[in-house]
Amino acid sequence: MAVRKVGSSRILREIGRGAMGVVYEAYQEGLDRRVAVKALEAGRSRTRAGELAERFRREGRAYAQIRHQAIVAVHDLVEKDRILYLVTEFVDGTDLGQVLAAGGALPADCVAVIGARLADALDAVHVRALLHRDVKPTNVMISRRGDVKLMDFGIMKDATATELTSVGEVMGTPAYIAPEVLEGDPASERSDVWSLGVTLYEMATGSRPFTGNDFHELFGAVRKGDLVPIRDVVPGFPRRVAKAIEHCLEKRPARRWETAGALARELEACAARLLGESRPQERLAALMAERGLGVVDGSAEAASEGQPGERPANGWAGRLALRLAWALLAATALAAGIYAWMGGGWPLR
């Protein structure tokens, strides 16, 4: 790791690599918080590097336009030694792909909650005349506390911007790309809805709706559009949630949800009915814990206080001491009550 500091952010460790670069966990000293720093990878041809740099700047500008609880917030865009760095909110958790790998298909209530939040996030993107174009499980973060965050806008497209994609080049991940885009039509809000539908289907069933041994087989499967109904794969899956997901995967764009916002409202209604008295965030936090990805012994609380990697004096250790003191007081009171009930009177009388 060559870079040690980006602006006021001190690099701690590498946490991932993507199509556009390397992502680090860092500590922003001035504001006393953890952040993620995404670095644009070097070592490409000058023409390609310039194109990617422009996409990277576009990502920063696109992020800056949006304030949404289910979209990773951007803090800064820094250029250092001819390398671009995007400083964003740090999400203490893991991506949805790893959540699925840790336990397979998700319970229907969790599918509805996550889907509603992602659809609402996409709607916030679309109302600003932007497209995500790469919605998939590895671009969704679930925090240990149950937050849902859409991320990686590296190929987000401003509908009014100059086209950066070469003629015939398809942006995104093939398994999640809408059929009309695979056939060469421009991406649209409804192609983002398709990608979200593939993601939701995978969450509900544990497998993708369309597969192939190579790109050509996959393309053929998507074009054919033979979808196995969710309830055939998972008997007993709530019909209303299944219909909402399958409506995303209509082959003809005009037959899909008109907006991501309409999908969000439908899934919110489904989630409310399925959750009952449970709170959505607490339900997702419980799911993370069940799959070994959640908060353990207050570690996430400790990590969120002070400088990363340190145990603050008033962090989990202080809370543990306070809990022990209360437990001792409660035990003393209980013993006194038992003594009085048995006729011995109060010890201090």
Spatial distance between the Cα atoms of 119 and 114, rounded to a whole number of angstroms? 9
For the record, the structure tokens of 276 come out as: 């009952």
For the record, the structure tokens of 266 come out as 């439908």
Catalytic annotation, pick one of 109, 123, 134, 152: 134
Measured distance CA(248)–CA(202) in Å, rounded: 13
Is residue 134 among the annotated active site residues?
yes
CB neighbour list of residue 345: distance below 8 Å, 6 or more residues apart: 339
Asked whether 151 and 140 are in contact (CB, 8 A), the reply is yes
Alpha helices in 187-314 (DSSP H): 189-205, 215-224, 230-233, 239-248, 260-275, 280-290, 299-303
Task: Name every residue whose Cβ is closer than 8 Å to that of residue 290 and which is 6 or more positions away in sequence.
Answer: 103
Using alpha carbons, select from 89, 95, 181, 90 the residue that is nearest to residue 137.
95
- The set of catalytic residues is 134
